[in-house]
Amino acid sequence: MTAHDSIQLGGITIRFLVEQDVVTMFEFHVAAGAQVPAPHSHDAFEETVYGLAGTATFTLDGARIALAAGDALFVPRGAVHGFVNETGEPASFLATCTPGLMRAAYFTEMRDALPDRDKALEVMRRHGLTPAPPPVSA
């Protein structure tokens, strides 16, 4: 895979720009209403996202945060997070992971595992992502 190859995962397109041990950096392009990754955490790396276009709504440890072009959000190790695109327009953001443990292989394996939920959860765990438990209903 070259730095310019894209990985299509449903309504999400991922394009890796940097894939090194110290840092990985990739663009996320999210179609309006696209199915997105399940809320999760990762204990071995931090993630910083920077809005490029449109608006993606992140949930970080229960707080909802709208990420628009020019906005940045830091996701510390262990923080449960996820995102959705609730608008009628595509959204794009740049994700940077330090150290560079999030690799293109995660997304290609996830693409191949879906829609099998058990296989997808296994891929998440193998790549250092911990799926968040379902919310408790009142």
Q: What angle do CA 47, 92, 74 make, to 5 degrees?
A: 20
CB count within 10 Å of CB 5 equals 11
**Model confidence over 101-138: pLDDT tens digits?**
999 999 999 999 999 999 999 999 999 999 998 766 65
Q: Domain 6-131 has what CATH class?
A: mainly beta
The predicted structure's pLDDT at residue 137 = 62
Question: Rounded to two decimals, what is the model's pTM?
Answer: 0.91
Q: Kindly tell me if the per-residue pLDDT of 73 is higher than 60.
A: yes
Reported as a single tens digit per residue, the pLDDT across 16-56 is 999 999 999 999 999 999 988 889 999 999 999 999 999 99
Single out the residue of 13, 14, 36 nearest to residue 24, CA to CA. 14
1 vs 110: which has the higher pLDDT: 110
- The ranges assigned to domains in the chain are 6-131
Region 46-69: mean pLDDT is 97
